[in-house]
Structure 1
Amino acid sequence: MPYESGTVWQYDVPTTGSAHLPPDAGYGKALTNQGYGFEGAVADLIDNSIDAGADKIVVHFLRDAERILTLLIIDNGRGMDDADLDAAMTVGRRRDYGDGALGMYGTGLKAASLSHASSLTVVSRTRRSRAAGRRLTAEGIEDGFRCDTVDPRYAQDLVDRYDGIIEWHGTIVRWDRVRAFETVTRGQSDQYLSKAISHLETHLGLYLHRFLQRGLKLDIAVWDVSSGNGRLGEEVDHIAVEALDPFGYKVPGKAGYPREFTAPVENVGDVRLTAHIWQAKSKQAGFRQIGALADRQGFYFYRNDRLVQAGGWNGLRNPEGHLALARVAVDLPSHENSVLSLDVKKESVTVTPAFTLGVEKAVDSSGHTFHSYLSDAETAYRDGSRRTEIVRKSVTPPGKGLDPKVKRVIKEELPEKPGEEPITFTWGTLPRDRFFQLDRENNVILLNKEYREDFNDGRRGGANDAPVTKTLLYLLLEDCFGLGRWERTRQDRVDYWNTILLASVGAQRERRAQVTS
């Protein structure tokens, strides 16, 4: 339309030229204020590893005796050469993503990292290039977006340290001066790490559960660099992240479910809704251990098999207690559209009224409506609420040193005492006539390290070794913690358990000697 000022409405704004305006250095400060939670930021970096073809990833906390030092994420993906590293560390650069990629906006590496750390280092190696690295710091961004080149010798040394993960190619992302770590007071590192790792394990197990179910190896490890003889120190904790499937029930809450509904959504087409109903009062981890039930009902949106929203009705209705069993899986179209949009942190989906109107019209192949599904979920909840449930005694939860798979089952089966510090297992020096000793003040079961190999088939165990022995001890000794006065009868029980267990060690050694002779 021709420009006629003051006479005709202008559908297009007229211009007379253009200029390229590079961002001011102050823009870099916006990267530190993206609202990333710690777990979401780590998950965003793991997305990059998966996009790079990694099938083995480790989230590695390094600490010393007094403080938490740094965080690294190591993968065995295809890696990056110098040109790729420069591109990855360029602020504001967006690259092209394939239809199946988890990355979307091109800002995650920088925004997620600098939201939590003042220094981001990326070291990588490909099959055809040597190890190389780049470092981006808060000071460098203020200095005209300066990116530092990592000394190639250090880059190669860092890759060599993780040769159990990076064999021919891979990438290491390192966070230094992590703001949350710097606020942990002296002597509180264990408690902070215990909670941080627990939250991280739950988040990654939930949002990446489809990848974990397909074989992705994802571990969280803690190393104390001030102890041990290795170059990285000594491993003090190790968790293999397990899938937390929000639809992983054994039996549905109502026969005939799950059901597939089709929602006609304008400008998108048919959207498939897989409607599930959990059993009432289920104790499974995928139901109870992923957050408040009121928050976890509703839609579970996936993009390329990565969970990007875990619950919520997106304006269709408000959360209600009698819909706590209702969960609906929705796979987003791989292409961008104006109806369903994903936030940059990949933790929530914004929908327009076109989506909710489509859901209102959704039906399955038998003609059942989505409203009938909601009614079925309400009925299952009310019927389940009437059933009499056996109330099990609350326990002090298990903590560090016990295999995460065992801890998860204990949480599923037994309610936890509120406010109790978890019971930790550790190996230490004890008299030969003691198999274990209780530190009731700190909720620790101390095991005699002289007998450690006897319960690890003669091998040196890891942080979560001897799971059967530790689990049995937990079941025996849990009620010895959190008490007031220590009764003589309890001490007598601890004494004869020690005597019997020492006899079992002797029997174990005799059996091993017979096998090896």
Structure 2
Amino acid sequence: MTHDWKFDVPTVGSKRLPPDARYMEALSSQGYGFEIAIADLVDNSIDAGAKDVVIHFLRDGDQLVSLLVVDDGRGMNETALDVAMTVGGRRDYAVDALGMFGTGLKSASLSHASAVTVVSTTKRTRTAGRRWMMERALSGFHCDIVDPHYAQTLIDRYDNKRPIEWQGTVVRWDSVKDFPKHGGGGQTDRYLHRTINKLGLHLGLHLHRFLARDDFNITIAVEDVRSGTIYMNFGVEPLNPFGYPVSGHPDYPRRFTASLPSFGDITLDAHVWTPKSNLDEYKAVGSVMERQGFYFYRHNRLVQAGGWNTFRQAEQHLSLARVAVDLPDSPGDAFRLTVKKSGVEASPEFASALESATDGNGLTFLDYLTSSDTAYRDARKRAGTARKPVLPPGEGLDRAVLETIVEELPIIPHEDGIALRWQRLDNELFFEVDRPTRSIVLNQHYRAAILGGRGGGPNDAPLIKSLMYVLLHDVFEKEYSGSRERDNLQLWQSILVSAARAELGRVGEHD
């Protein structure tokens, strides 16, 4: 028998194949970053009409015990709560809702916690609660019903003070995987400082349009449950990635239109940032290569910050180029949002349409890229910094240092970076130049002295490693070292070994 391949495959019926309980494990292994997961919960708060959202870290002395996201939104009755806690639960999303797939609350939470409890109350219904524990979810999708008395107690904890007054929701994470296992020695304080700073930047950036309103606030706070002391209590500030003080090019911003055959017109708001900016609005997004490109918004929520979506490669000379794109409510197959709402997959026709996008007055999108490139180069010339291109730094340097080097120096394209690593060497050597692996090898013997007794890591000793990169990068840009360069290398070895031995002596005196 032959079939016409233009038609569907013939079938003879169907059968129901429910997911295995292990599906929950797969759902919680989607690679949610901590900040992305929290932002997903805040999205739910915004969809619920919340005006105030509090992200609350609870600690007992040196030990972090729980993380809660509390809002004063509409709340949920028991039926709505069951839907919210059902994987892929069916509910009608508003046209401008931030939620999409019905999995965010569960997958974001269980990616980072062994248990997630949701307690909610409305103006007309009693407080209700549900809890997912990973071990019970894996045994057969068993979701716990929270004791009504405890549910009310948790709501009362935030009643008559920010944020809950008459209605609202509390999402509680327990056994959070990222929390320090042992909080002594200042580990908890360091973790909170680092995590809260990154979280504030992420939320400030991705939700900046909401935070710029007068009627919406996000607060991050830490409370010691033993003493009741609340500290590190601050509001998240909006970080507008297009909030430059002065445009980097007099002809921008400018609006372009790209026409996609399968969809229609897409508007592109093209901007050129102020050169040499140190503002958080500019630097909050990754490296200099990551922060250029498209900034996609869905319902005023930033869902992708930077990247060219296969249209072109990132280049240092385009570091000032940023393009805002507001996605339509129904983008069809032209744009697809990732489940984590942390990126957009654009169809090939989008890249093709950019080639012919115009502003209606004869200026093309490709002209915009040329203008961005020119603005960057002109700023360099005015500053008198026509610097020689160098090989990029590689593994072993702190990210902030990597970013500064890439921003300050032209990078030779398509070349592997110069790595910096520790290794046991002869004690007469402080470093070794390893050309085959393009590495600067530092002597492990002197590591403890350089670190002053602190614990090391892959990107430790940023000051020494930065100086070694600056000192030695041009050695790798030649096939071999001449006599003068070899003499310099020997000179640097002698001085650095003497300095390292002096440091070792100081450490011994303190011991």
Range class of TM-score, shorter chain: 0.7 to 0.9
Q: CA deviation at 1:108?
A: 0.2
Query: Where does residue 168 of structure 1 map in the other structure?
Result: 166
Q: CA deviation at 1:388?
A: 3.2
Q: CA deviation at 1:132?
A: 1.0
Query: Where does residue 224 of structure 2 map in the other structure?
Result: 224
The alignment status of 1:343 with 2:342, answered yes or no, reads no
The alignment status of 1:112 with 2:108, answered yes or no, reads yes
Q: CA deviation at 1:21?
A: 2.2
Q: Is the 8 A contact 1:119 1:177 kept in 2?
A: yes
Query: Aligned to 2:361, what secondary structure does the other structure show?
Result: coil
- The one-character-per-residue Cα deviations of 1:36-92 (angstroms, maximum 9, x if unpaired) are 000000000100000000010011000111211110000010000011111111123
Q: Whole-Å Cα distance in 1 between the matches of residues 3 and 267 of structure 2?
A: 49
- The one-character-per-residue Cα deviations of 1:2-54 (angstroms, maximum 9, x if unpaired) are xxx33543621111122222211111111220110000000001000000000
Query: Where does residue 273 of structure 2 map in the other structure?
Result: 278
What letter matches 1:222 in structure 2?
V
Q: Whole-Å Cα distance in 1 between the matches of residues 284 and 6 of structure 2?
A: 56
The alignment status of 1:194 with 2:193, answered yes or no, reads yes
Structure 2 CA distance for partners of 1:119 and 1:251, relative to 1, 3 Å: same
Query: Where does residue 213 of structure 1 map in the other structure?
Result: 212
Q: Whole-Å Cα distance in 1 between the matches of residues 4 and 314 of structure 2?
A: 48
Q: Is the 8 A contact 2:291 2:305 kept in 1?
A: yes
Q: Whole-Å Cα distance in 2 between the matches of residues 256 and 34 of structure 1?
A: 42
The alignment status of 1:147 with 2:146, answered yes or no, reads no
Q: Is the 8 A contact 2:116 2:174 kept in 1?
A: yes
- The one-character-per-residue Cα deviations of 1:409-433 (angstroms, maximum 9, x if unpaired) are xxxxxx9xxxxxxxxxxxxxxxxxx
The alignment status of 1:319 with 2:314, answered yes or no, reads yes
- The one-character-per-residue Cα deviations of 1:322-372 (angstroms, maximum 9, x if unpaired) are 100000000011114111100000011111111011111111032210111
Gaps of 5+ in 1: 228-232, 391-414, 416-440, 443-483, 485-517
Match of 1:381 among 357, 376, 385: 376
What letter matches 1:211 in structure 2?
F
Query: Where does residue 332 of structure 1 map in the other structure?
Result: 327
Q: CA deviation at 1:389?
A: 8.7
Match of 2:123 among 122, 127, 134: 127
The alignment status of 1:51 with 2:47, answered yes or no, reads yes
Q: CA deviation at 1:185?
A: 4.9
The alignment status of 1:97 with 2:96, answered yes or no, reads no
Match of 1:87 among 80, 83, 101: 83
What letter matches 1:190 in structure 2?
D
Normalising by structure 1, we get a TM-score of 0.72
The alignment status of 1:21 with 2:20, answered yes or no, reads no
Gaps of 5+ in 2: 386-407, 409-452, 455-502, 504-511
Query: Where does residue 406 of structure 1 map in the other structure?
Result: none
Q: Whole-Å Cα distance in 2 between the matches of residues 246 and 7 of structure 1?
A: 55
Query: Aligned to 1:363, what secondary structure does the other structure show?
Result: coil
Q: Is the 8 A contact 1:254 1:376 kept in 2?
A: yes
Q: CA deviation at 1:385?
A: 1.2
Q: Whole-Å Cα distance in 1 between the matches of residues 120 and 3 of structure 2?
A: 61
Structure 2 CA distance for partners of 1:374 and 1:9, relative to 1, 3 Å: closer
Q: Whole-Å Cα distance in 1 between the matches of residues 108 and 89 of structure 2?
A: 15
Q: CA deviation at 1:170?
A: 0.5
Q: Whole-Å Cα distance in 1 between the matches of residues 253 and 217 of structure 2?
A: 29
Q: Whole-Å Cα distance in 2 between the matches of residues 50 and 7 of structure 1?
A: 51
What letter matches 1:214 in structure 2?
R
Match of 1:73 among 65, 69, 76: 69
Q: Whole-Å Cα distance in 1 between the matches of residues 261 and 197 of structure 2?
A: 41
Structure 2 CA distance for partners of 1:374 and 1:7, relative to 1, 3 Å: closer
Q: Whole-Å Cα distance in 2 between the matches of residues 95 and 337 of structure 1?
A: 20
The alignment status of 1:296 with 2:291, answered yes or no, reads yes
Q: Is the 8 A contact 1:99 1:335 kept in 2?
A: no
Q: Is the 8 A contact 2:245 2:274 kept in 1?
A: no
- The one-character-per-residue Cα deviations of 1:461-492 (angstroms, maximum 9, x if unpaired) are xxxxxxxxxxxxxxxxxxxxxxx9xxxxxxxx
Q: Is the 8 A contact 1:94 1:107 kept in 2?
A: no
Q: Is the 8 A contact 2:272 2:322 kept in 1?
A: yes
Match of 1:238 among 233, 239, 253: 233
Structure 2 CA distance for partners of 1:153 and 1:372, relative to 1, 3 Å: same
Q: Is the 8 A contact 1:297 1:326 kept in 2?
A: yes
Question: How many equivalent residue pairs?
Answer: 385
Q: CA deviation at 1:237?
A: 1.0
Q: CA deviation at 1:379?
A: 0.9
Query: Where does residue 260 of structure 1 map in the other structure?
Result: 255
Structure 2 CA distance for partners of 1:269 and 1:24, relative to 1, 3 Å: same
Name the % identity.
55
Q: Whole-Å Cα distance in 1 between the matches of residues 384 and 73 of structure 2?
A: 48
Q: Whole-Å Cα distance in 2 between the matches of residues 329 and 98 of structure 1?
A: 23
Q: Whole-Å Cα distance in 2 between the matches of residues 248 and 304 of structure 1?
A: 19
> Quick check: 44-53 or 183-192, which moved more?
183-192
Q: Whole-Å Cα distance in 2 between the matches of residues 92 and 284 of structure 1?
A: 40
What letter matches 1:376 in structure 2?
S
Q: Whole-Å Cα distance in 1 between the matches of residues 2 and 182 of structure 2?
A: 63
Query: Aligned to 1:275, what secondary structure does the other structure show?
Result: strand
> Quick check: 312-321 or 182-191, which moved more?
182-191
RMSD across aligned positions (CA): 1.9
Structure 2 CA distance for partners of 1:287 and 1:389, relative to 1, 3 Å: farther
Q: CA deviation at 1:293?
A: 1.8
What letter matches 2:201 in structure 1?
T
The alignment status of 1:179 with 2:177, answered yes or no, reads yes
Q: Is the 8 A contact 2:131 2:145 kept in 1?
A: yes
Query: Aligned to 2:290, what secondary structure does the other structure show?
Result: helix
